[in-house]
């Protein structure tokens, strides 16, 4: 965002953000999400803070997937006007949070805070490292695993937590163009991850090489192959 805004200038940057926010917030609202706030170029959305349901995690993942689809259409419009495409990352975390009116006596805002909020932000940022678009936590994956496609990516330690957490990539937004030979690549990746954790380095390297042969642009396979 910073590099794009420097090239565009103030007026064009505001126009870009307004167009982007309009498209994305409509998707959030369409699936029972609550717009908590804008943080610079970031959208913070909450599901289930007012009325909880069993579908909160599913709705959050669906919104993430549809945001990526909506971004594709936005980039097509930008390309038609001569603009450069933009990329986003989505982080989703499920769990207990503190919700309420927080602020000063002069200005209060209803929001949520807590470890799970922080984890969602860390996952959003981790997309740049893994070459992914949507990263979710283990609790989110447990809620959607039976009806939404995802794969385990890694165990990571995030700032403020001593124990590593399992993270997963939501895959529902991908098409045959954005993730070619998906079944072959994912099968090879899963086998490679298993062998990697068994310290079968040669077998893992072979599997990740096969995953990259199926989809040369797969970021997680590139990272494990280099490891």
pLDDT by position in tens, the chain (length 227): 777 888 888 899 999 999 999 999 999 999 999 999 999 899 999 999 888 899 999 999 999 999 999 999 999 999 999 988 999 999 999 999 999 999 999 999 999 999 999 999 999 999 999 999 999 999 999 999 999 999 999 999 877 777 899 999 999 999 999 999 999 999 999 999 999 999 999 999 999 999 999 999 999 999 999 99
Tell me the C-alpha to C-alpha distance, in Å, between residue 181 and each of 130, 178, 212, 213: 19, 10, 10, 9
The answer to whether the pTM exceeds 0.85 is yes
Query: CB atoms < 10 A from the CB of 163, how many?
Result: 7
């Amino acid at each position: 965002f910073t590099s794009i805004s420097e090239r565009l200038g103030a007026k064009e940057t505001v126009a870009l953000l307004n167009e982007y926010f309009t498209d994305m917030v409509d998707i959030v609202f369409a699936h029972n999400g609550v717009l908590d706030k804008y943080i610079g170029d970031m959208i913070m959305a909450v599901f289930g803070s007012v009325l909880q349901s069993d579908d909160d995690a599913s709705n959050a993942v669906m919104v993430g997937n549809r945001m990526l689809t909506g971004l594709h259409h936005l980039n097509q419009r930008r390309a038609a006007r001569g603009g450069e495409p933009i990329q986003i990352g989505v982080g989703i975390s499920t769990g207990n949070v503190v919700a309420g009116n927080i602020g000063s006596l002069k200005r209060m805002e209803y929001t949520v805070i807590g470890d799970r909020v922080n984890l969602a932000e860390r996952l959003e940022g981790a997309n740049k490292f893994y070459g992914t678009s949507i990263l979710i936590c283990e609790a989110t994956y447990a809620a959607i695993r039976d009806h939404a496609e995802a794969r385990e990516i890694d165990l990571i330690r995030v700032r403020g937590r001593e124990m590593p957490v399992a993270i997963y990539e939501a895959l529902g937004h991908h098409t045959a163009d954005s993730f070619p030979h998906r079944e072959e690549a994912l099968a090879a990746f899963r086998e490679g991850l298993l062998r990697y954790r068994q310290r079968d380095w040669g077998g893992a390297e072979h599997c990740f090489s096969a995953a990259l042969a199926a989809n040369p642009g797969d970021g997680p396979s590139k990272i494990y192959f280099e490891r």
